Amino acid sequence: MLRYILKRLLNALLVLLGLSLIVFITLRLTGDPVAMLLQAGSPSKSDIAEMRRLLDLDQPLPIQYVSFVGKALTGDFGRSFHYSTPALGLVLERMPATLTLTLSAMAVALVLAFPLGIISALNRGKFLDFVSQTISLLGVSMPNFWFGILLILIFGVSLQWLPVSGSDGPEYLIMPSIALGIPLMAVLARILRSSMLEVLNADYIRTARSKGLAKSTVIIRHSVRNALIPVVTIIGLQFGTLLGGAVIVETVFSWPGIGRLAVDSIGSRDYPVVQASVLLLGAILVIVNLIIDILYTVIDPRIGYK
């Protein structure tokens, strides 16, 4: 198992290296960051050239890339052009906020998806099944920025039950988690339903029922656990989508996370911050998928790694 983990980590490093090249090249195709910085005035061409030199942007691209990778390996992602503080520090500062939001959204999704998926599977073909399938359809069809604004209008403006935006307390987390979690809930509920239906038809379930086991034992101990593998796979894959959705939800709810920082930095072409954000998010994704893979061995003892 340890060898497996080490192999995966090495793999992860290669993935991140490839990611660094992609983000490096793409950023430099988007335009000149110096012009953004010098918009407060009427800079002459020589002013612009000098600023480029001060920011080390006048070097040939391969040299800039090698320098960037070399420094990144020591944890130095350069200084933000706009905040003039170390880029990695900025990103790490925002990480707790994004992780809080993402994990809360995940919790919302799981808490709602499990009953929905299980009820749906157990009542296949009946009214409850169709209600929950419809809820899933709605959840997956709604764009999360639209849903977020709708929640704000209803609970923030009309009813004034919840604060509209910001991050000054736990009540501020409620609406953003729901806005981000509902689409994931919809996907998970549907996967769980299909997976459960497959399991419920298996021989060992028939055996368990014929043994006279209580219905709840059959469902929880035997069916759900076996139905979990595809669901856990989807959670791992969807985590990336969740992080992406966090970008939009963070903007709508003024939640101070990495997503918002990344979007603002792309708009203002703050190269160091974009690079640091993308690589850190990439690293998180890689680690989450590794955890998921290890989780399989817990859920299903038949699965093992060499």
Partner 1 sequence: MIKTKAWFRLTLILSLIMGMSLVLAACGDPTPTTAPTTTTTTAKTTTAAAATTSSATTAAAATTAGATTTAASATTAASAAPSGTLTIALAFDLQGLDPVMTYSLNNGRWQQNVFSTLIYRNTDLKIVEGAGLATSWKYVDDKTLTMQLRKGVKFHDGEDFNADAVVFTFTRLLDPANKSPQRFNYTSIDHVDKVDDYNVKFIFKDVDPVMIVKLAGYGAAIVPPKFVQEKGNDFVNQTNIPGTGPFKIVEYKKDNSLTLEAFDGYFGDQKPKLKKIVYRIIPDEATRLAEFLSGGVDILTVTPSQSDSAKAAKGRKVQVVGVPTVSGIRLDTSKPPTDNLKIRQAIAASIDTNTIVGSLLNGYAIPMAIWQSPFSFGYDDSLKPYGFDLNKAKQLVADSGVPNPKIVYNYIAQSAQDKEIGLAVKSMIEKSGIQVELKPKEQATFYDDYRAGKLDNAVPFGWGGWTLDADNTYYSLYYTKESYNPAYTNPQVDNLLTAQRSTTDQTKRKEAFTQINKLIYADYPDVMLYQQQYLWGITDRVKDFTPPPDERLWLLNVSVTDNK
Interacting residues with partner 1 (CB under 8 A): 30-32, 35-45, 47-48, 50-51, 54-55, 82-85, 90, 93-94, 125-127, 130-131, 134, 137-138, 141, 145-146, 149-150, 152-153, 156-157, 160, 163-168, 248, 251-254, 256, 260-261, 264, 266-267, 269
Residue 299: CB minimum distance to partner 1, A: 34
Q: Which residue has the tokens 């920011």?
A: 55
The amino acid occupying position 266 is I
Q: Which is nearer to partner 1, 231 or 274 (CB)?
A: 274
Residue 260: CB minimum distance to partner 1, A: 6
Residue 126: CB minimum distance to partner 1, A: 7
Residue 152: CB minimum distance to partner 1, A: 5
Residue 170: CB minimum distance to partner 1, A: 16
The amino acid occupying position 5 is I
Among residues 193, 201, 52, 47, the alpha carbon closest in space to that of 123 is found at 193
Among residues 266, 272, 271, the alpha carbon closest in space to that of 247 is found at 266
Asked if residue 258 lies in contact with residue 95, where contact means CB atoms within 8 angstroms, the answer is yes
Q: Which is nearer to partner 1, 104 or 289 (CB)?
A: 104
Among residues 130, 134, 140, the alpha carbon closest in space to that of 183 is found at 140
Q: Which is nearer to partner 1, 183 or 236 (CB)?
A: 183
Q: Which is nearer to partner 1, 46 or 201 (CB)?
A: 46
Q: Which is nearer to partner 1, 205 or 266 (CB)?
A: 266
Q: Which is nearer to partner 1, 68 or 255 (CB)?
A: 255
Q: Which is nearer to partner 1, 145 or 305 (CB)?
A: 145
Residue 157: CB minimum distance to partner 1, A: 5
Residue 256: CB minimum distance to partner 1, A: 4
